[in-house]
Amino acid sequence: MDSVGIVIARRPPSESAFEFELEGDAAPGDFVEVPVEAGALVARVVRVRVENQYLAEAGVVRELRLGLRLPSAAALASAEVRVAKAEALGIVSGGSVLPPIQAPSPGSRVYRAAPETLRSLLGLAEGGVKLGRLWRHGLEVELDPERLFRHHAAVLGSTGSGKSYTCGVLAEEALERGLSVVVLDFHGEYSALGERYRTRVVRANQVKLEPGAVSPDAIADATEMTDVQRDLLYLAFDEAEGPTLGDVERAAGRVAERYGFKRETLLAVLRRLRMLRAQRVFTGEGEPLFLSVGEAVVVDLGLGMPGGVTRALAGAIAWWLFEGRRAGEQPPFLLIADEAHRLLPQGERAFSKTALRLVAREGRKFAASLVVASQRVVGLDKDVLSQCGTKIALRMDSPTDLAMLKPLLGKHARLLPRLPTGVALVAGVAVGYPVLVEVRRRRTSHGGSGSPLFAR
């Protein structure tokens, strides 16, 4: 094992933290281990300080500058010490993990944590989901697929930090395991999954979605109905003799008269339903979406339609898939909602939110998993975020978003603003402790780079 230093006693080591004189290479976030009686005490470097007793006093530095007093260059260099502070995480003993209950003895050697020790500490699974490598450690991070997928995950980070790329990696891992994957794709970034996996790209408006088989909320959202228009629509849904838009339109006429809705309300509702017909959405045309085992379905949401319509379509598709899963008509699946803030606006009514909340809350029971990716944390539905057992946080700049994530990610959240693209802080049920992971390279291309801005 690589020795990286020796425990010092200037501040007495305790069972929760200790300092060591650093002789090798270690940086904040790195894992180290120290042998203690009960096993290997694993700790994490939280800070490295460089000290030099000669240069501690401004007066001495000034004399040095003026050439008045000159310790030899060798003396100066040898007086430099680096002191690392480490926080104890646990004691690994024969494959099991105890809380850190013993302090390391001053004078003990500190080693870079061995792969086996880390695997035990972090609860990494042989043959698990290969997300990438532990940053600066090289250890392959394999996450238990049950814990990662069944408990849902959120991928968060600024634009360009690597969210969609990471979602692509998760999709690949799910497909490698024979899980069906559905991607709600606003930017046409996921069709390249077809380079290696059975993949269908479907346009959201070509999925057969009959009003009667969806929820009136989807229709009301798509057409931005007011409350009173919604009231009429709900009654018409109950009254409709069949599942089509035409059935709902006819029922609306009858219901409006029976309950005394104003004529302009009826006209407004009918006009909205006709608008759907003109846009050819929720008309019941197209192919119903049935997943097949181990296949990827990329739902193209880049339709150039009004945001409300696109959002309602995405919600209706998620809802259809989940209800199908619940009824045993769809295989277990992983639903990836990229740009999830568009579907999960905090404090705004949206059927897509109802649908994704349903998957988030009930999906565990029915093997319907959800991954949401978003550049916003504040502004993303708290319900869904809190149901995501694993948080995968990439580079993030917004102070308000960081403040919100801090309680979930611990003090390493402060590294987030400066993380390189593709490096993620992973925390939650899939890992024993928050870890930095260099997300692995894709097996298929990462699409959707768009047209170049400049000709050369």
Q: Footprint of Mg ion on this chain (CB under 5 A)?
A: 163-164
Q: How far apart are CA 137 and CA 117, in angstroms?
A: 13
Q: Are 88 and 15 in contact (CB under 8 A)?
A: yes
Smaller CB separation from Mg ion, 158 or 164:
164
Measured from the CB of residue 420, what is the shortest distance to Mg ion in angstroms? 17
Q: Which stretch binds ligand ADP (CB under 6 A): 64-72, 118-126, 160-168, 324-332?
A: 160-168
The distance from CA 176 to its chain's CA centroid, rounded to whole angstroms, is 20
CB 438 within 8 A of CB 135: yes
Q: How far is the CB of 167 from ligand ADP (least distance, A)?
A: 8
Q: Nearer Cβ to Mg ion, position 340 or 404?
A: 340
- 240 close to 251: Cβ distance less than 8 angstroms: yes
- Residue 162 near which of ligand ADP, Mg ion, none (CB within 5-8 Å, type-dependent): ligand ADP
Please, which residue, 72 or 454, has the CB nearer to ligand ADP?
454
Q: Does 216 bind ligand ADP (CB under 6 A)?
A: no
- Which CB, 164 or 310, lies closer to Mg ion? 164
Cβ distance 43 to 35 under 8 Å?
Answer: no
We find the least distance from the C-beta atom of residue 377 to ligand ADP, in angstroms, to be: 13
Stretch that binds ligand ADP, among 146-154, 159-167, 246-254, 321-329 (CB under 6 A): 159-167
Beta carbon nearer to Mg ion, 150 or 341: 341
Phi/psi for 420 (5° steps) reads: -70, 160
Does 444 contact ligand ADP by CB under 6 A?
no
Maximal C-alpha separation, the chain: 102
Q: Does 447 bind ligand ADP (CB under 6 A)?
A: no
Nearest-approach distance from CB 439 to ligand ADP, in angstroms = 4
Q: Pick the binder of ligand ADP from 37, 159, 287, 451 (CB under 6 A).
A: 159
Q: Which is nearer to Mg ion, 168 or 211 (CB)?
A: 168
161 binds ligand ADP (CB under 6 A): yes
CB of 30 closer than 8 Å to CB of 137: yes
Nearer to Mg ion, 389 or 447 (CB): 447
163-182 footprint of ligand ADP as x/- string (CB under 6 A): xxx-----------------
Interatomic CA distance for residues 268 and 228, integer angstroms: 10
Which one, of 385, 424, 423, 422, lies nearest residue 407 by Cα? 385
Task: List the x/- string, 412-441, binding to ligand ADP by CB under 6 A.
Answer: ---------xx----------------x-x
- DSSP letters of 393-423? E-----HHHHHHHHHHHGGGGGGGGGPPTTE
DSSP 131-180: EEEETTT--EEEE-HIIIIIT-EEEE-STTSSHHHHHHHHHHHHHHTT-E
Q: How wide is the angle at C-alpha 333 spanned by C-alphas 154 and 401, nearest 5°?
A: 10
Distance of CA 335 to the CA centre of its chain: 13
User: Please, are residues 252 and 270 in contact by the beta-carbon 8 Å criterion?
Assistant: yes
**DSSP letter at 114?**
P
Per-position x/- string for 118-157, each x denoting binding to ligand ADP as judged by CB under 6 A, each - no binding: ---------------------------------------x
Nearer to ligand ADP, 18 or 165 (CB): 165
Per-position DSSP letters for 15-33, written without gaps between them:
SSEEEEEE-S---TT-EEE
Structure tokens at 3: 């020795």
- Given the rule CB under 6 A, which residues bind ligand ADP? 157, 159-165, 421-422, 439, 441, 446
